[in-house]
Amino acid sequence: MVASPPDPGSDAAPDIAAIRLGLQRIGERIAQAARGAGRRPEDVTLVAVSKTQPQAAILAALQAGQAVFGENRVQEAAAKFPPLRSDWPALRLHLIGGLQTNKAADAVRLADTIESLDRPRLADAIAQAGDREGRLPALLVQVNVGDEAQKSGVPRDEADAFIAACRARFGDRLRGLMCIPPAEVDPAPHFAWLADRAARHGLSVLSMGMSADFETAIAHGATIVRVGSAIFGARPAPGEVPRGSAARVGVGHPA
Ligand SMILES: *Cc1c(COP(=O)(O)O)cnc(C)c1O
């Protein structure tokens, strides 16, 4: 059973054919980028970023064969995903947004992977919640590669110490690193920096690359790419009222 859509954007019926086509095209581009880098397509996991999308859009993606999804808000993920799990046992949820400490317990219950571990107090909260719940999601340390004040992530010069501390504490549950490079600059040096950091720490998972730059990220070793608008269409700007089909211009035609 599917719960009634609780989220923003639900007034616009999702364009199921466009989502299917978007997934197919992104899949092809991922495979091409991987082969171009001498890598295997199956070594790159697509996380379909479904934030702000109604549950019906997620269902359409599931029916098209997509299993892994990303959300940036715990509450929104909690409303949309648990009802889908029983019908879709292969479904995997990644939390990719900055995480408040007081949401850590919910995140630990909900997520298969938390990609935004970025400070000691959050590590404490996740560890405590993991003990209580008897489950611990896979974890990625998010690095604020551009040292931008408004972004989540451990600062670059604190990254080594924090990664080592998380490794000691979480062992194999710490899988790798994640970053969101600054907008408007060449992301390649940032991707290269993150890949080097992961290699130094013996971590195999690298979550980097979004709609605009996932091919560059794959060329630099990304094993996870997080793609939203190139699959589901443009999201309304924060505060903007979704306007039906106008919110989906650009599906299958990423800039
Ligand atoms: C929204 C979001 C994405 C996807 O962005 P698109 O440009 O729509 O592909 C990827 N990663 C994070 C952390 C996000 O918040």
- What average pLDDT score do residues 110-137 get? 98
7-31 in b/e form (b: 16+ CB < 10 A) is: bbbbebebbeebbbebbebbbebbb
- Best mutation site among 96, 116, 190, 208 for ligand 1 pocket (most ligand atoms within 8 Å of CB): 96
What is the per-residue pLDDT for 12?
66
Q: Whose CA is nearest to atom 12 of ligand 1?
A: 96
pLDDT at site 236:
74
Window from 195-199, 225-229, 240-244 with minimum mean pLDDT: 240-244
What does the buried/exposed string (b/e) look like for 105-115 if buried means 16 or more CB atoms within 10 Å of the residue's CB?
Answer: bbbbebbebbb
Q: Is the pLDDT of residue 214 over 50?
A: yes
Q: Does the pLDDT value for residue 7 go beyond 60?
A: no
Which single residue is written with the structure tokens 């505060």? Answer: 239
Query: For residue 11, what pLDDT is reported?
Result: 54
pLDDT band at 14 (very low <50, low <70, confident <90, very high): confident
Q: Which residues line ligand 1 (CB under 6 A)?
A: 49, 51, 72, 96-97, 180, 210-212, 226-230
Tell how far the Cα of 133 is from the centroid of ligand 1, in angstroms.
Answer: 29
Quote the ligand 1 centre to 240 CA distance (angstroms): 18
53-75 pLDDT per residue, tens: 999 999 999 999 999 999 999 99
**213 CA to centre of ligand 1 in angstroms:** 11
For a pocket test of ligand 1, which of 49, 68, 191 has the largest count of ligand atoms closer than 8 A to its C-beta? Answer: 49
Atom of ligand 1 nearest to the CA of 116: 13
pLDDT at 241: 52
List domains and CATH numbers for the chain.
Answer: 16-232 (3.20.20.10)
Instruction: Determine the residue of 72, 76, 190, 226 to mutate for testing ligand 1's pocket, defined as the one with the most ligand atoms within 8 A of the Cβ atom.
Output: 226
Lowest-pLDDT choice from 130-144, 162-176, 218-232, 238-252: 238-252
Three state DSSP letters for the chain: CCCCCCCCCCCCCCCHHHHHHHHHHHHHHHHHHHHHCCCCHHHCEEEEECCCCCHHHHHHHHHCCCCEEEECCHHHHHHHCHHHHCCCCCCEEEECCCCCHHHHHHHHHHCCEEEEECCHHHHHHHHHHHHHHCCCCEEEEEEECCCCCCCCCEEHHHHHHHHHHHHHHHHHHEEEEEECCCCCCCCHHHHHHHHHHHHHCCCCEEECCCCCCHHHHHHCCCCEEEECHHHHCCCCCCCCCCCHHHHHCCCCCCC
Cα 49 to averaged position of ligand 1 atoms, centre (Å): 6
Q: What is the pLDDT of residues 73-102, one digit of tens each?
A: 999 999 999 999 999 999 999 999 999 999
Other CB atoms within 10 Å distance of the CB of residue 53: 30
Supply 106's token pair: 């919910």
Instruction: Give residue 238's pLDDT.
Output: 67
Ligand 1 atom nearest 229 alpha carbon: 8
pLDDT score recorded for residue 234: 86
* Per-residue confidence (pLDDT) for residue 13, from 0 to 100: 80
pLDDT mean over 104-127: 98
Residue 19 clears pLDDT 90, i.e. is over it: yes
10 Å Cβ neighbour count for 127?
17
CB-side exposure of 180: number of CA atoms within 13 Å?
A: 18
How far away, in angstroms, is 26 Cα from ligand 1 center?
A: 14
The phi, psi pair for 11, rounded to 5°, reads -75, -20
Token pair for 25 = 């095209």
Region 127-154 average pLDDT? 97
